[in-house]
């Protein structure tokens, strides 16, 4: 009697030669690809800036490899039913696109005031008559603890227009001295192209990077509006040239800068 040999084949293999199988299987890739393409077309300056940053290239490469390993290796190994794994990967693709790109389209307006800024340094009294004239760069001085004088109100020492660096930016950056002698950086009437993890720095000299001596002040509270950032004690912004820099810490790229003078 002739023997019969039966070959068992996986039902998945023939399907993988079917274009309809791949049309469904690659839906998550279409989603993340469409989001990336839209970002590249609408935010090309930011893409170009990131390409020039080794940190941004390394981070984006790691994210891309992680996504490929998750969606094309891990999920197919764990989940056999196509509809389930495509759904899982699609949800993750949408979430990943949101985390990566949503900040680039979301504006946040924060408007702050600094009490006494640009106010007259002295007031007139009916009994005393007009206040004596003072130099516009100096306010009426109470004497400080070291024998130095300090203005009675905040004084704007220097200002300059804020310019974008591969990003859209407008507004004014100012260096302000407080009555106690400390300094404040003002970002006034700003409109900066939004993005992730923006920080405010002051850096010695005229620069577009966080060079040696850079001092981080705070996370940028809003890409639109007016905000004031305290400068740590010991940083003398009235000595020499200083750059006010808005920096994307996540991708290590400059966003906007000004050199008040």
Tens of pLDDT along 179-208? Answer: 999 999 999 999 999 999 999 999 999 999
What is the average per-residue pLDDT within 216-222?
Answer: 97
121 part of a folded domain: no
Tell me the three state secondary structure of residue 241: coil
Provide the residue range defining the domain that includes 233.
Answer: 109-116+148-258
Query: Does residue 183 sit in the same domain as residue 235?
Result: yes
Residue 19: pLDDT band by 50, 70, 90 thresholds?
confident
What's the structural domain count of the chain? 2
Contact 190, 171 (CB under 8 A): yes
For 171, left (φ over 0), alpha (ψ -120 to 50), or beta?
left
Edge-first strand listing for the sheet containing 224-230:
109-111, 224-230, 183-192, 169-177, 155-161
Among 72, 105, 138, give the residue marking a domain's end.
105
Q: Which residues contact 191 (CB under 8 A, 6 or more apart)?
A: 168, 169, 170, 171, 223, 224
Q: Which DSSP string do the residues of 162-202 spell out, in sequence order?
A: -EESSS-EEEEEEEEE-TTS-EEEEEEEEEE---SSEEEEE
The Cα–Cα gap between 133 and 109 comes to 38
125 part of a folded domain: no
Question: pTM to 2 decimals?
Answer: 0.77
Residue 136: pLDDT band by 50, 70, 90 thresholds?
very low
Extract the tokens encoding 87: 């759904």
pLDDT digits (tens, 9 = 90+) for 47-81: 999 999 999 999 999 999 999 999 999 999 999 99
Query: Does residue 98 sit in the same domain as residue 196?
Result: no
Q: Which of 94-98, 113-117, 143-147, 238-242 is least confident?
A: 143-147
Contact 175, 188 (CB under 8 A): no
Query: Does residue 100 sit in the same domain as residue 153?
Result: no
212 part of a folded domain: yes
Nearest to 213 by CA among 192, 186, 241: 241
């Amino acid at each position: 009697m002739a023997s019969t040999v039966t070959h068992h084949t996986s039902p998945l293999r023939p399907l993988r030669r079917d274009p309809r199988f791949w049309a469904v299987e690659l839906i998550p890739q279409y989603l993340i690809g469409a989001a990336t393409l839209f970002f590249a077309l609408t935010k090309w300056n930011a893409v170009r800036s990131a390409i020039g940053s080794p940190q941004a290239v390394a981070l984006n490469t790691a994210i891309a490899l992680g996504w490929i390993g998750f969606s094309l290796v891990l999920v197919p190994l764990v989940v056999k039913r196509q509809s389930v794994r495509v759904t899982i990967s699609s949800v993750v693709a949408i979430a990943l696109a949101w985390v990566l790109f949503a900040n680039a389209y979301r504006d946040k307006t924060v408007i702050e005031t600094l009490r006494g800024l640009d106010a007259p340094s002295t007031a007139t009294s009916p009994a005393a008559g007009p206040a004596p004239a003072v130099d516009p760069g100096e306010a009426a001085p109470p004497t400080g603890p070291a024998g130095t004088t300090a203005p009675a109100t905040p004084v704007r020492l220097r200002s300059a227009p804020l310019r974008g660096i591969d990003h859209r930016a407008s507004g004014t950056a100012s260096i302000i001295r407080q009555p106690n002698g400390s300094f404040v950086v003002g970002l006034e009437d700003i409109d900066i192209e939004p993005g992730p993890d923006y920080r405010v720095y002051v850096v010695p000299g005229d620069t577009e990077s966080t060079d040696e001596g850079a001092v981080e002040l705070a996370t940028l509270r809003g890409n639109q509006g007016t905000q004031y950032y305290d400068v740590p004690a010991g940083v003398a912004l009235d000595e020499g040239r200083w750059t006010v820099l808005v920096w994307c810490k996540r991708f290590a790229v400059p966003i906007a800068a000004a050199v008040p003078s």
